[in-house]
Structure 1
Amino acid sequence: MASGESIVELARKYMGTKYVWGGAAPGGFDCSGLVQYVFGKNGVNLPRVTYDQINVGESVQPNKLRPGDLVFFDTDRKRSGPDHVGIYMGGGKFIHAPRPGAGVKVSSLSEGYYMDRWMGGRRVPGVSASAAAGDGEALEVAPKLDANELAETYGMSYSFFKSQPELWKMLNGAVEGQWTPEKFQAEIKNSNWWKKNGSTARKAQMMAKTDPATYKATMEAARVSAQQMAVKAGAVLSQKNADTLAKNMVTFGWNEAQVGNFLGQYIKFAENKTLGGIAGMAAKEIRKTANDLGVAVTDQSILNNAQYLVRGLTSMEKIQGSLRQQAAGLYPAFAEQIGAGAGMQDLAAPYVQVLASELGLPETDIDVFSPKIKAAINRMGPDGKPAPLSLTEFTQMVRDDPAWRKTPAAANQAMAIGRQVLAGMGLVK
């Protein structure tokens, strides 16, 4: 019969031995390799891998563990089942080969990481512990812990518990009642603090108390990131707003959509009515689309749409679609063409050319917004339906305007008519 204490004592001799995947000798161990080697040296043969070792012997509850028992954990959440094993030492501790880069070491079953991943304990046949308590075997429980120790074993600092009245009361109750790690964990997860705060918020609050230096550095990095995202979006953030955004990013783990929704509130015009970043590009596209469609848009409308775009409440496709609907309502005679993707500036181009030619104006000075153009393309017929002027009718309408008579075109036409009359009279050839 092998002694559990002798198994533990031998395992201690390999403290610090490097982790080697598949290692089962003093030159390097993996978790199950250490177990197999140490037990083998004590005359107890075990299977090689964790998945087989957990089938050896009988199950043991955490508060019934004794030196030489095996403890199993599920550390790889991608696969179900045990993938890590250690040797219980007594006093709530176990010795194991944890992972690459970390040598053989002693850990506590009370650590939050191992409590969360606990799978079970096994008592190996042929292994005994010291006789005690009159029953032939020592059945150990975790040692009595004070408040500081209990807080630290759960991965939280004593100061953090003191900052949370609900958890502080719970910690004192756990010390007084010497709760098992499982009960302590269950009570924390049932607290209002746990339920009201997501995983990211809990970690941030704990970091602020347990590792203030890291928390400060994390917050500073978040502030820099917040300002960079603000510039990209075109938002103008005060230092206070930047701090608020950084805190939300760290505390709540805000994603890109949540950050955008926050930044959209701070999209503002510069003095020259321009916007920067994504908002500025959106504003330019909105203005261009509106102009192409012959729709007048206000600065406030452009600002509102740019804000909604950054906040993720709309898209450029939706904005352009809305402008196209407005254009169809403004120019009912061309609604079908507008719906098919045409722009009113293009549709009105023939009228622009006539007006420019007749009045001797540059075409760049005339567009669909010009009163004469708008009147011609939006004329209604006797039946009340849209009936745009033909180009011939439009030309005559322009010439009927008193302003036309003062143009070179009018003078040339008068000269041509006069020449025709004189030619008819035989006075000129």
Structure 2
Amino acid sequence: MTSGADIANDARRYLGVQYVWGGTSPSGFDCSGLVAYVYGQRGIQLPRTSYNQIQVGASVSPDKLRPGDLVFFDTDRKQAGADHVGIYIGGGKFIHAARTGQPVKISSLADSYYMDRWMGGRRVPGVSASPDPNPTAGEVTPTLDAHELAETYGMSYAFFKSQPELYKMLKSAVAGQWSPDRFQAEVKNSNWWKKNSDTARQAQVLQRTDPATYKAQMEAARVAARKLAVQAGAVLSDKATERLAKGMVWFGWEDAQINNYLGQYIRFQDNEVLGGMAGQIAQAIKSEAYKNGVAVTKQSILNNAQYVVRGLTTMEKIQASMREQSAGLYPAFAEQIKAGADIQDLAQPYIQAVAQELGVPETDVSVYSPKVKTALSRVNAQGQPEAMPLTDFAQSLRNDPAWRRTQSAQDKVLGIGRQVLAQMGLGI
């Protein structure tokens, strides 16, 4: 393992090298190029840019910095994130390739420019923390007060800088040397505290204090969001996935809240089927509709699948609604339907009669077949619901032109003809 002191000493060798944008060698460095080169000479490979370098290693608070640690700053206010990096060498100072026109040099965290733009410190894996050779440097003591106080209050200076209301409060705390208890009381009385839940506050603090961990949590939430979407049958855009991930990380959404969100994105796929849980619900709805002789549209299936996923209704309620509809469509069987019987089962004798009399497969006949539906939903002469008697139903089928083309009809005609011939003494 390389010591942080060795990293700091290596960095000193390049003092005076001119800044070159995109430079990664002693002929010219930019800030992240210098860092990557110095660490690379010790066999430690780092990402090329500061935006990615800040994702490496563990977060280090300003008061815990040791030689060899990386220090990050947000110097371009137009873009969020770490756009400048240096190597801490102890005593509140760091080496960096500052900008065009300046050589690699040593600067101080005491500089208000860097203090105001501080984003965080990182300790790189493979580098041991060396003791600070000058931990009591006079120039550091006053300038780190705000950082130290922020850390004492369980947050970070970078986070306070991102919240104008809290930053103003922090400056007052530094000027007045408030006690932690007083500062916590002031924070809890702020609009920021009142408007954000505990999980939201924690996420915002983590985002600024330890961006690498925050990024990892968000990516894990995105992966989980995509998986949950597939399971639910939801089709999420990148933006919708991001909103769900943020809901999980920032607001601690539980299963019911996640499902309610996903239910809004239940969509038919290219083959007009639903996937995941929504697909299972859709099949259950279709099956229930078939058993109850109730017609359902594609839109109705989609809507109900969404509602079930979102927790706005249940399959039990959908089933009860369909039974109510079925009882209304087939009033002669209303009592049996309400007692739990399926109209498809109740219609079975009529279905068998159609299959037998008209010579069609029984699987081709259902309660939806016009003849069966008419017989089941009939009313009598007094206007009361009364299913057609089976004998009458069979006779009505024989009056159908289709019956005359059946084998049984032909056999019956042939039998009658033989009987007539026999009566005339012309039997064969």
1:29-44 superposed matches below 5 A: none
Equivalent residue number for residue 256 of structure 1: 255
Shift of 1:225: 0.5
TM-superposition CA deviations, 1:346-398 (whole Å, max 9, x none): 11111111111111111111111111111111111111111111110001111
Equivalent residue number for residue 212 of structure 1: 211
SS at match of 2:264: helix
CA distance in structure 2 between the partners assigned to 1:266 and 1:364 by the alignment = 36
TM-superposition CA deviations, 1:321-347 (whole Å, max 9, x none): 111111111111111111111111111
TM-superposition CA deviations, 1:168-209 (whole Å, max 9, x none): 111111122222221111111111111111110010000000
Equivalent residue number for residue 327 of structure 2: 328
Worse-matched range after superposition: 413-422 or 163-172: 413-422
Percent sequence identity over aligned pairs: 65
CA distance in structure 2 between the partners assigned to 1:144 and 1:416 by the alignment = 115
CA distance in structure 2 between the partners assigned to 1:149 and 1:406 by the alignment = 97
Equivalent residue number for residue 367 of structure 1: 366
Equivalent residue number for residue 281 of structure 1: 280
Equivalent residue number for residue 414 of structure 2: 415
Shift of 1:425: 3.1
Equivalent residue number for residue 298 of structure 2: 299
Letter in 1 for 2:193: W
Letter in 1 for 2:361: P
TM-superposition CA deviations, 1:77-113 (whole Å, max 9, x none): xxxxxxxxxxxxxxxxxxxxxxxxxxxxxxxxxxxxx
Pairing 1:236–2:235 present: yes
Equivalent residue number for residue 308 of structure 2: 309
CA distance in structure 1 between the partners assigned to 2:239 and 2:287 by the alignment = 35
Letter in 2 for 1:150: L
Shift of 1:145: 8.5
Equivalent residue number for residue 393 of structure 1: 392
Equivalent residue number for residue 113 of structure 1: none
Equivalent residue number for residue 146 of structure 2: 147
1:166-245 superposed matches below 5 A: 166-245=165-244
Letter in 1 for 2:310: R
CA distance in structure 1 between the partners assigned to 2:144 and 2:232 by the alignment = 52
Equivalent residue number for residue 267 of structure 2: 268
TM-superposition CA deviations, 1:10-51 (whole Å, max 9, x none): xxxxxxxxxxxxxxxxxxxxxxxxxxxxxxxxxxxxxxxxxx
Contact 1:151–1:157 (Cα < 8 Å) also in 2: yes
CA distance in structure 1 between the partners assigned to 2:195 and 2:242 by the alignment = 22
Larger C-alpha radius of gyration, 1 or 2?
1
CA distance in structure 2 between the partners assigned to 1:227 and 1:212 by the alignment = 22
TM-score by length of 2: 0.65
CA distance in structure 1 between the partners assigned to 2:402 and 2:177 by the alignment = 101
TM-score by length of 1: 0.65
Q: Which stretches of structure 1, 4 residues or more, deviate above 6 A after TM superposition?
A: none
Letter in 2 for 1:371: P
Change (3 A) 1:291 1:201: same
Letter in 1 for 2:163: Q
CA distance in structure 1 between the partners assigned to 2:427 and 2:371 by the alignment = 39
CA distance in structure 1 between the partners assigned to 2:340 and 2:349 by the alignment = 18
Change (3 A) 1:165 1:144: closer
SS at match of 1:266: coil
CA distance in structure 2 between the partners assigned to 1:410 and 1:302 by the alignment = 43
SS at match of 1:237: coil
SS at match of 1:369: coil
Letter in 2 for 1:415: L
Letter in 2 for 1:389: M
Letter in 2 for 1:201: A
1:96-175 superposed matches below 5 A: 146-175=145-174
Letter in 1 for 2:229: A
CA distance in structure 1 between the partners assigned to 2:350 and 2:425 by the alignment = 39
CA distance in structure 2 between the partners assigned to 1:324 and 1:272 by the alignment = 29
Equivalent residue number for residue 98 of structure 1: none
Contact 1:279–1:306 (Cα < 8 Å) also in 2: yes
CA distance in structure 2 between the partners assigned to 1:220 and 1:406 by the alignment = 69
Count of equivalent residues: 287
Letter in 2 for 1:172: K
CA distance in structure 1 between the partners assigned to 2:422 and 2:228 by the alignment = 78
Letter in 1 for 2:249: V
TM-superposition CA deviations, 1:140-183 (whole Å, max 9, x none): xxx99832221110111111111111111111111222222211
Shift of 1:418: 2.0
Letter in 1 for 2:268: F
Letter in 2 for 1:324: R
SS at match of 1:156: coil
Shift of 1:419: 2.3
CA distance in structure 1 between the partners assigned to 2:215 and 2:382 by the alignment = 75
Contact 1:145–1:178 (Cα < 8 Å) also in 2: no
SS at match of 1:353: helix
CA RMSD of superposed structures (Å) = 1.6
CA distance in structure 2 between the partners assigned to 1:210 and 1:262 by the alignment = 29
Contact 1:235–1:263 (Cα < 8 Å) also in 2: yes
